[in-house]
Structure 1
Amino acid sequence: MPRQGASKRFWNSAARENAAWYIATRFQSENKEFFESGTREVDDFLAFAGVGLEASDSVVEIGCGTGRMTRRLAELAGRVIAADVSGEMLQRAAVNLADSPNIELVELSGEGDLPLADGSVTAVFSYITMQHVPTATAQEAYFRSALRVLAPGGWALIQFRRSGVVPRLLDWGGHITHLANGRRTLDRAWRGARVRESALLQQATSDVSVQILPFGRRHVWALAKRAD
């Protein structure tokens, strides 16, 4: 079975075990604060990157989970395509977001492809998702796909693990702590892979700029913008 198939199985199982914890480890349930935290983080991260959404925008969220951040994206943009590798997560998202008619749910293969036409959206957003994708190849493919689907004037804001020894050690400390508490955090579908920032910067083209925005000791944001 390909590694991506194993990843799909892992996240379907995680959704059944405790979706909220595997999405954001400080939560044990999809309660009010779980979704409110998603609202705050969307606003904070867009402000951090200096980008925004308007009612005329269409945005893809890669790794929507059960919709923790999706509802806020749908409040800001006219159309949201909420995508995830896990069908189980998407089933929960469908219930959580039933009152948001401008959201479409899409299940991904996990190989880095986005089933959308070239230049068909104005924004792509992804947080704490790439760090769980099992291969650097698939993560780079997601980034290329994000750039491909951007319309002129559009942007992509995608979070990745930071490269280097110290971020790796910090991540392993977290994995082991969670393992001691009974979580399956040594699975490759949780640990994921690392992409060098230079590999992301190399995706820039004559009409697409790419910036790396350091975010704490363990993460970076890749911000790409397509020229008008």
Structure 2
Amino acid sequence: MKTRVLFIIIGHFHLLPSLLSGTTVTQSETFIHVQEGETISITCAVHLINSTLTGMYLKKNWKTFDKIFHISNTMDFVVDQKYQDRITHNGPLKELIITLRQLFRNDSGIYFCEAVIKTDSRPLTVFGSGTLIYVSDKTKTSACEIHPEVTSNDTTVETPENSSLMPKVLFVAIAVLTLVCIIFLFVLYKSTMKKCCHYNQSHRVVTSNTEYEDMTFRRSTVQSF
């Protein structure tokens, strides 16, 4: 359960660009458990706001983001050599269905849909929340035999390997969140300082004009006497 919670937290850090563009990418599944040789499908659905969809990536693992598959808005596509003849796609680019066949154990990982969009200001990439795929040995008859923590009512995968990675994952998540907060506070500080400087300059101009007018009035008064 802890592994899946951390995975969801990390996945949502990649949603930050969607807050800027308004575009969102959703994935049909959060967690998929299959055995070797089986087939899975991931649907990448894009909701556009004031932008144009120019391409879609399927990337694996949040650390390295290996490019598994890419398709452009002209429907030209490229497949990583390790997945040749094992990936197919169908549907429009906005609701793309990517199918992975003949899965191996080393295909396990977190898969992200990444939409490439064009806005009025600049190109931007928007990530989906991610799909965790766990491929088990097909010699095992059920998930319960592989991990006692997996039951028919709970699809949580808890392994010693995953547990050892949890502190590192949590540290990275906290570090990224801290960095985002620092950047936000810095931008807010710069904006506030800019407004204050502008106000001070305007105030000085008004004060100078008032003093000049007062001096002119005094001179004219003295001359009249």
Same fold (TM over 0.5): no
* TM-score bin (small chain): under 0.3
Q: Please report the TM-score for the alignment, with normalisation by the length of structure 1.
A: 0.28
Q: Please report the TM-score for the alignment, with normalisation by the length of structure 2.
A: 0.28
| More RCO (CA 8 Å, sep 6+) | 2
